[in-house]
Amino acid sequence: MTRVTQQTARIVFFLSAAVSAMAAALVFGFLLVFGFPLIGGGEFFSLLARPWSPGQGLYGFLPMITGTAAISFLSIVFALPLSLGTVCFMGGLGPARISRLVDGFVRFMTGIPTVIYGFLGIFLLVPVVRTLFTSAGSGMCILSASLMLSLLVSPTMIIFFKDGFDSVDVRYIQAADALGADSVQRLIYVILPEAWPGIVTGIIMGLGRAMGDTLIALMIAGNAVHVPGSILDSARTLTSHIALVSASDYDSLAFKSIFACGLTLYVLNAFAVIAVRKLGKKRGQAR
């Protein structure tokens, strides 16, 4: 291979990386420019804390922020134990043969479309929730949405956890085995500490997936525009809000507000990413 092809390859790699990285900035730029009329007036932060009532010219999205927070947090609360348990099962606590089956099943789950969860949510879960909890009204509520969401985010988390587990060098596992570690000890002392970056990545990805999902909340959370008071209340997420309002007049303030919503999601996400990266790094150094 000549020096030229070397250089060319290198440049191609660099450009790809640069372009991909710029994509994040590009999205940010678009949101900023399109949402400028609302944000520019320094109103952005007051929007966060205000209700939504276009009739009175109020375009705050406090309801959507609380809705998003409630639904995504609750779904991680459901999904994290499920995912950790499952990955520990595959990491040596369960029989090898069943683990392999579970692994295949989980990978298959990543392929189950979110819209199918929404669809089944409407026809299977919502009626159940409605009958179990009379105060859930229609059954379209935070609880229904987070339950469905937890199934959506679990496989994502499990796969990243599992990648972390798999990246542990076989020789470490052999060393621990030869020293008489049982499967639990091997897991706790060798695999989990080594797999920590994978676990952090998994949680980022899971949370991102939960906050970023539109369809499940749109289809089964009810979309009411108010600050929810309980997990049995109907609620609207920022994402559903964008989906619902992207349909209004371009030049209306309501339409511009969805860019502010998008921006909020963007910033929330960026904060989460930075925070969790910091956390992972600290842990890495402590070892």
Partner 1 sequence: MDKPVKIRVENLTFSYHQTPVFEHINLEFDAHAITAIIGPSGRGKSTFLSLLNRLWESQPFARMEGKVWILLDGQWVDIYGKTLSKPDLRRKVGMVFQTPNPLPMSIYKNMAFPLKLTGVADKSLIEEKITAALRQAFLWDEVKDRLHDSAFSLSGGQQQRLCIARALVSQPEILLLDEPTSSLDAGAASVIEDLLVRLKERCTLIVVSHYLDQVSRIADTALKLEARGFSPV
Partner 2 sequence: MTIRILGGCLRVFSWGAVLVLTGSVLVLLGYLLVKGVPSLGRDLIFGQVDVLDAVLLKKRVFDGLFPAIAGTLSVVALSVGLAVPVGVCAGIYMSEFATVFQQRVFGLMFDILAGIPSIVIGLFGFSGAIFIHKYISNDFRPCLAVSVAALAFLVLPYITRTTQAAMQGLSIQIRQAALALGATRVQNIFYVLLPRSFSGILSGIILAIGRCAEDTAVIMLTGVVATAGIPGSLLGSYEALPFYIYYISSQYTDAAELMSGYGAAIILLGVCAVLFFLAFLIKRHLAGPAGPARGRFHG
Partner 3 sequence: QAGAIDPFSGLSGEIRISGGTAHIPVMKEAAKQIMRANPEISISIAGGGSGVGIKQVGEGIVDIGNSGRAATDAEVEKYGLKLFKWAIDGVGAAVNPGNPVTSLTKAQLKDIYSGKITNWKDLGGKDAPITVYTRDESSGTRAVFWKKALDKGDIVSSANFVVSNGAMKTAIANDPNAIGYVSVGHMDASVAGVALDGVPPTIDTVKSGEYKVARGLYSNTQGDPSGLTKLFIAYLLSPEGQRIVVQKGFVPVN
Nearest by Cα to 269 from 242, 247, 238:
238
Choose between 91 and 139: whose C-beta lies nearer to partner 3. Answer: 139
Handedness of CA 160, 163, 165, 168 (dihedral sign): negative
Residue 167 engages partner 1 in binding (rule: CB under 8 A): no
First to last CA, the chain: 41
In angstroms, give the least distance from the CB of 16 to partner 1: 23
Q: Which partner in partner 1, partner 2, partner 3, none is near 17 (CB below 5 to 8 A by kind)? A: partner 2
Choose between 173 and 272: whose C-beta lies nearer to partner 1. Answer: 173
Q: With contact defined as beta carbons under 8 Å apart, do 154 and 218 qualify? A: no
- Please, which of residues 172-201 interact with partner 1 by CB under 8 A? 172-182, 185, 189-190, 193-194
Q: Tokens for 254?
A: 């309501």
The amino acid at residue 203 is I
Burial class (CB in 10 A: 0-12, 13-18, 19+), 145: buried
The alpha-helical segments, DSSP class H, found in 93-167 are: 96-110, 114-120, 126-132, 142-166
Q: Tokens for 179?
A: 């020293």
Q: Which partner in partner 3, partner 1, partner 2, none is near 34 (CB below 5 to 8 A by kind)? A: partner 2
Residue 41 engages partner 1 in binding (rule: CB under 8 A): no
Choose between 171 and 282: whose C-beta lies nearer to partner 1. Answer: 171
Residue numbers at the binding site for partner 3 (CB under 8 A): 51, 53-54, 63, 122, 126-127, 130, 134-135, 137-140, 222-226, 233-234, 236, 244-245, 247-250, 254
Interacting residue ranges for partner 1, rule: CB under 8 A: 1, 3, 169, 171-182, 185, 189-190, 193-194, 287
